[in-house]
């Protein structure tokens, strides 16, 4: 795993795109502060850039760097979550502009998965995480379900966990609004 983290870090710092295992399903990712790298992911997925993507972080203490004001309820949600949870926060900042939704929000998930946690500790920035598929196609549950088009379009494919057949599902998604309002987007 050490070599995979080292290589992924090199690619990400150089503005590249990686294909990697996450705490949910396989993802396509880049440095979430790099506008050009984010633009490449939209192109790889053939996805309109009006559809925002989420980012992974490994430490909730860093949330204030990327969100203007963290609603109090967010801390509780992050603390009590026992399964992967993406929270959409208003007032995104310090991220690639083409990553932020039209309403100024950003989806953030705190990963507990070993590879991404260690990668994020070394990267010291959020990592884009979007399913490893062409937009509109089925999200691959396992590495061997990822299309050759996706594999050929990225700069680096992480070898770690390619044989893992542990059932995985996308995260739950909650959107936080004014005054701590909670909207459940996906259970």
Model pTM?
A: 0.93
130 contacts 53 by C-beta, under 8 angstroms: yes
Domain ranges of the chain: 2-186
Report whether pLDDT(169) > 80. Answer: no
20-32 pLDDT per residue, tens:
999 889 999 999 9
Per-range mean pLDDT, top range of 45-54, 101-110, 134-143 = 101-110
Residue 184's alpha-carbon distances to 85, 126, 128, 174, 176, in angstroms, are 11, 23, 22, 5, 9
- pLDDT value of position 53: 93
The rounded distance, in Å, linking the Cα atoms of 38 and 29 is 8
Report whether pLDDT(179) > 80. Answer: no
| 2-186 classified as CATH 3.90.870.10 | yes
The rounded distance, in Å, linking the Cα atoms of 77 and 85 is 8
Element (H, E) at 146: none
- pLDDT value of position 124: 95
Report whether pLDDT(89) > 90. Answer: yes
130-156 pLDDT per residue, tens:
999 999 999 888 999 999 999 999 999
CA-closest candidate to residue 129, choices 117, 147, 144: 117
Give mean pLDDT, residues 61-69: 93
Characterize 13-45 residue by residue with b for buried, 16 or more Cβ atoms within 10 angstroms of its Cβ, and e for exposed: eeebbbbbbbbbbbbbbbbbbbeebbebbbebb
């Amino acid at each position: 795993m050490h070599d995979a983290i080292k290589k992924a870090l090199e690619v990400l710092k150089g503005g590249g795109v990686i294909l990697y295992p996450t705490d949910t399903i396989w993802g396509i990712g880049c440095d979430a502060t790099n506008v050009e790298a984010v633009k490449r992911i939209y192109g790889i997925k053939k996805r309109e850039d009006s559809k925002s993507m989420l980012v992974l972080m490994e430490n909730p203490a860093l949330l204030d760097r990327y969100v203007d004001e963290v609603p109090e309820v967010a801390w509780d949600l992050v603390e009590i979550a026992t399964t992967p949870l993406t929270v959409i926060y208003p007032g995104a900042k310090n991220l690639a502009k083409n990553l932020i939704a039209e309403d100024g929000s950003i989806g953030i998930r705190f990963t507990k998965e070993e590879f991404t946690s260690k990668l994020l500790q070394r990267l010291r920035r959020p990592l884009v995480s979007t399913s490893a598929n062409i937009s509109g196609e089925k999200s691959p549950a396992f590495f061997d379900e990822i299309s050759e088009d996706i594999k050929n379009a990225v700069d680096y494919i992480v070898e770690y966990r390619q044989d893992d057949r542990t059932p995985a599902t996308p995260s739950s998604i909650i959107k936080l609004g004014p005054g701590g309002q909670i909207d459940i987007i996906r259970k």
